[in-house]
Amino acid sequence: MNYLPIFIDIKQKPCLVVGGGDIAYRKMSLLLKANAQVTCVDKSACENVQALADQNKIALIKRNFEASDINTQALIISATNNTQVNAQVSKLAHSANIPVNVVDSPDLCSFIMPSIVDRSPIIIAISSAGKTPVLARLIRAKLESTIPHAYGKLAELAGSFRDQVKAKFTNIEDRRFFWERSFSGIVAEKVFSGRVDEAKATMQKQLDDSTDSDVGEVYLVGGGPGDPDLLTFKALRLMQQADVILYDRLVSEGVMELVRRDAELIYVGKERDNHSVPQEGINQLLVDLAKKGRRVCRLKGGDPFIFGRGGEEIETLAENGIPFQVVPGITAASGCSTYSGIPLTHRDYSQSCRFVTGHLKDGSMNLPWDELAVEQQTIVFYMALKGAKHLSDKLIEHGMRGDMPVALVEKGTTPDHRVWTTTLVELPTIVATQPIKAPTLIIVGEVVKLREKLNWFDPSD
């Protein structure tokens, strides 16, 4: 280790920045965030630095650096483009034992400044010891995108309970268990979704009444249409903290690979006409598991509230007082059309788009066909493969042109993504003669033609 990472308290301490340019400004802003008393010395100052001085946030001395400027400073940063001045500042600071950083000159520094991820009071500092700042910044970007912003709030909340928790659990193990539960359970999730007051009340309750903390929770998570890259950060986080995962046929293998390694997996089926676990059974299972204190992720294909029966599942949870969260996912219509080069709306061809269920009930679909059989509109049929002939007949019967373009997208966004394009009148023949299997989405509308115009190549080609 070339450097010792430490965090310095510079609140109300005098800090000197030599140089008044843009880089100096950035350093000053950081020092100010840590509540330092900043003095800047330079003959000229950029607009931003001048503004800080005008607002009395820093003291600005408008002249060249002088040796006596370092007196009584707690920390010095030199950010001029004059190498002689930088070297002089460094030398003086070193001999006075004042920590000094010279921008872009690690040899002249007694400390270096890391890339930071700020979730105050949590601060993550990353350094490459000056060897490759770009890589350090890339790592920083990765952390930025995976650590929710609300971690700071969670840390604040935990801080405010610290003494109480210490008093209640004298045993270190019990204390650790309590915190672990809070940081990965309902309390954390409430903070992440902006309900800090509720989180506080829950934490207090958990602390006062240990039996209550035994109730688990349910995450109803949209797993998207197939490509795991289409998951949201929130979906991924909850998938990785759940103890049990309930999933069905629509959740792709790629997505399933991202659930917590040691989570219990329960398949609840849902092949068409062959429901492994009936819906009521799934609803009850969610309640039973949560009542045992488990964190349950109900993972669904696409979006849980779009033809996903998500509404019914949370109704049962609500009736039983089980805490839950719903995470939206990219619905099949959006994923399949985008990955097939078909914009669902387009200024010239379609001003609206309808998502419709094509599920056959007693051999027919109860749909407002007059509203559907119109121009300048895109219709996306879910669960309509078996009913393809019916929908083609009905749309034509209600006045839609037989040559209206149609696309069938099979296993959209997965490595097996496949697209057939045809016309409304030809649709039944294509479905009858081609090896098209569920899950398939049927898109009807002029926008389908854009695929050719865009010269689209499917990801699986």
**So which residues are the catalytic ones?**
248, 270
Distance CA 245, CA 267 (A): 8
Cα atoms found within 13 Å of the Cα of residue 210, Cβ hemisphere only: 7
Nearer to ligand SAH, 109 or 245 (CB): 245
Least gap, CB of 55 to ligand SAH (angstroms): 51
Least gap, CB of 308 to ligand SAH (angstroms): 4
Residue 405 binds ligand SAH, judged by CB under 6 A: no
Residue 336 binds ligand SAH, judged by CB under 6 A: yes
Contact 190, 202 (CB under 8 A): yes
Contact 389, 448 (CB under 8 A): no
Residue 333: Cβ within 10 Å count: 28
Contact 256, 247 (CB under 8 A): yes
User: What is the rounded end-to-end Cα distance, in angstroms, of the chain?
Assistant: 49
Cα atoms found within 13 Å of the Cα of residue 193, Cβ hemisphere only: 15
Question: Site for ligand SAH (CB under 6 A): which residue of 75, 236, 297, 306?
Answer: 306
Q: Which residue has the tokens 């007694």?
A: 110
Question: Site for ligand SAH (CB under 6 A): which residue of 332, 373, 388, 427?
Answer: 332
Residue 307 binds ligand SAH, judged by CB under 6 A: yes
Distance CA 426, CA 283 (A): 41
DSSP 182: H
**Mapping DSSP to helix (H, G, I), strand (E, B) and coil, where does residue 413 land?**
coil
Residues 6+ apart with CB under 8 A from 344: 333, 334, 337, 350, 353, 378, 380, 443, 447
Least gap, CB of 407 to ligand SAH (angstroms): 11
Judged by CB under 6 A, how many residues of this single chain contact ligand SAH? 23
Question: Site for ligand SAH (CB under 6 A): which residue of 16, 17, 215, 441?
Answer: 441
Contact 391, 319 (CB under 8 A): no
Contact range with ligand SAH by CB under 6 A, out of 51-59, 138-146, 368-376, 437-445: 437-445
Contact 247, 268 (CB under 8 A): yes
Task: Give the residue nearest to ligand SAH (CB).
Answer: 302
Nearer to ligand SAH, 75 or 251 (CB): 251
Nearer to ligand SAH, 114 or 301 (CB): 301
Contact range with ligand SAH by CB under 6 A, out of 141-149, 302-310, 392-400, 419-427: 302-310
Least gap, CB of 400 to ligand SAH (angstroms): 20
Closest CA to 218 of 165, 266, 276: 266
Here's the x/- map for ligand SAH, 151-190, by CB under 6 A: it reads as: ----------------------------------------
Here's the x/- map for ligand SAH, 226-245, by CB under 6 A: it reads as: x-------------------
**Binding footprint of ligand SAH on the chain (CB under 6 A):** 225-226, 250, 300-303, 306-308, 331-332, 336, 382-383, 409, 411-413, 438-441
